[in-house]
Amino acid sequence: MRERWVRTGGVELCVAEAGDARRPTVVLIHGYPDSKEVWSEVAGRLAGEHGFHVVLYDVRGHGRSSAPSPLRGGFTLEKLTDDFLAVVDEVGPGGPVHVVGHDWGSVQAWEFVTVRRTEGRIASFTSISGPSLDHMALWRRQRASRPTPRALAQLLRQNVRSWYVYALHTPVLPERAWRGPLGRAWPGMLARREKVTGGGYPTPSLPDDAAHGTWLYRDNVRTRMSRPRPDAYAHAPVQLIVPDGDPYLSRWLYDGLEKWAPGLTRRSLAAGHWVPRTRPDQLSSWIADFVRVHEAAPETASEEASGEATPPAGDSVADTATVPAEVAAPGKVPAAGPTLARVPGSGPYAERFGGRLVLVTGAASGIGRATALAFAVAGARVVAVDLDAEGAARTAERARSLGAASAWSEQADVADESAMEKLAGKVAGEYGVVDVLVNNAGIGVAGPFLETAPEDWRRVLDVNLWGVIHGCRLFGRQMAERGQGGHIVNIASAAAYQPLKSLSAYGTSKAAVLMLSQSLRAELAGRDIGVTAVCPGIVNTGITATTRFTGVDAAEERRLRRKSARLYRLRNYAPEKVAEAILRAVVRDIAVVPVTPEARGALLMSRFAPKLLRGISRLEPPL
């Protein structure tokens, strides 16, 4: 990276740049107790594969930047804003920049994007794990003024999470701790708690950085929390990225944020606090997408509006929309400058899956197609895989029309090891490492055990079990090697725990998938890779049209297929409901998901009334 020094307000700031300066500029601002090196992984991706001009700087008193003297009063938000403007004047004179902040970098960037003197200088803002102090103070006041049990519980929980804020206001002790045992222990603590290791981070300056940074809290928190600005409205589009596992900041702290940032785009990650180190691929992708959207959007002059208004009908935290001149607050407030273009994804799951890469096998029809389309609606990038190439292509085309960020189709037989290896190599090389894998492809076999031929057993196990094994092994290994988490969904069946005569082969394959999933979940938990087994009951799909009925002639097999198809149509449980359960299970990281009432009932009986379940097994199966 290229380095330069910027002098402002009695300090010298160390500024690093990467990428082509003629490209859009992205400014990355670190938090506490970090230095700019926390961004090294994200910066490399933004400058390299995404082609942006990337700027990082050490906040005053951190890294290689000098500290103000005296420290007291040297870290106010006003002075941090002066520093930001000095940096962008130096590296991007005359044009707006895209700002990304993490932790205290986000806290101070909220100041930048809500004060008048920075209007026109910020093209977009991505906030990660750092709320506006004004918004946080008003959030607390609102809940304290309406002390419902839920509001009080939220306040209490956030107060507990904010314990360190109170500790950092203690005189002298925090500095001594950071320059003593805490500073020495910190790298190991990050490695154990968040799996943050290596890459030149944390830097040797950490003890002094942390000691100086205590004044970020002392100079700002009490003052701003006691006297929040009532007009802290964002004058640039905002993307909020919320790590679900953040131990310091609760998700509900951002409730109502769209009032302050109309057209807010909200994303979430299954991760802890230090996502610039643990999830650089996903962060850089979301940041790049947001920058591209707002670089392409036409700009309108910033203007003032008065009067009382409310956000536009249908405004969603999962999308961006054109921001009106008036926003939801009385009095004079600035309107958003740029006209916001739409970010892909809608509905309740866009926050989690927008822009993420999802691969679904057996995607030409049934549950696989419904699942691929559900992820598409949420704005994911979808790879539809099926032996039926035309069916997979139709699914991909439909996915694109429903809002998928991108969608592709691939032909592969999941039972063919070499074909799956080629598929995994192609997907990784052309689309990237899969974030969510759905092993859905499966076939049906029904008939008495004694009349089920070895070739029938081999085929059902090759597709239903080995297809899942191939997917888990190949794509799961890629997830593990990337080291940034992921999720695997294996479609089993209620037949995995509900024995039925004439379904011995099918039930065996699905029971094996269920046990594989639970064992793999335990193995991959330490790598932040979730594994879910989904167990549908009778779902109205086309599986009956291809089910192999053993021990009968062709005419009888056709009759049995028609009979089974009629039963499934009468049951009429839509595959879209299974798809909804799959997305919900990934978000919540659920181990086993029975779908349909009969599947849930059978699972309960398998645990509490197994003898009754075995009695039911003597009935004729639906297949």
Residue boundaries of the structural domains of the chain = 2-334, 353-616
User: Catalytic: 497?
Assistant: no
**The two structure tokens encoding residue 99:** 């700002």
Handedness of CA 335, 336, 342, 348 (dihedral sign): negative
Tell which CATH classification among 3.30.950.10, 3.40.50.1820, 3.40.440.10, 3.40.50.300 matches the domain 2-334. 3.40.50.1820
What is the C-alpha separation between 67 and 126, in angstroms, rounded?
Answer: 26
Is omega for the bond preceding 202 within 30 degrees of 0, making it cis?
yes
Which amino acid is residue 121, in one-letter code?
R
Show Cβ contacts of residue 330 under 8 Å, excluding neighbours closer than 6 positions. 307, 308
Q: By the 8 A CB rule, do 260 and 266 touch?
A: no
pLDDT-flagged residues of the chain (< 70): 93, 296-344, 542, 544-545, 557, 560-561, 565, 568-569, 620-623
Whole-number pLDDT of residue 315: 32
The domain made up of 353-616 has a fold known as Rossmann fold (3.40.50)
Exposure b/e, 367-403, CB count within 10 A at least 16 = b: bbbbbbbbbbbbbbbbbbbbbeeebbbbbbebbeebb
Instruction: Pick the catalytic residue from 201, 349, 506, 573.
Output: 506
Whole-number pLDDT of residue 492: 96
Judge residue 564's burial from the number of C-beta atoms within 10 Å of its C-beta, 0-12 exposed, 13-18 middle, 19 or more buried.
Answer: buried
What is the C-alpha separation between 338 and 294, in angstroms, rounded?
Answer: 8
**The two structure tokens encoding residue 448:** 């008495």
Is omega for the bond preceding 243 within 30 degrees of 0, making it cis?
no
Q: By the 8 A CB rule, do 155 and 143 touch?
A: yes
For the chain, the distance separating the N- and C-terminal CA atoms, rounded to the nearest angstrom, is: 63
Q: What Cα–Cα distance (Å) separates residue 212 from each residue in 21, 168, 205, 206, 215? A: 32, 11, 11, 10, 6
What is the C-alpha separation between 347 and 375, in angstroms, rounded?
Answer: 10
Strand partners, 535: 594
Show Cβ contacts of residue 370 under 8 Å, excluding neighbours closer than 6 positions. 574, 575, 576, 578, 579
Question: φ, ψ for residue 358 (rounded to 5)?
Answer: -125, 130
Strand partners, 54: 18, 26
Equal fold, 2-334 vs 353-616: yes
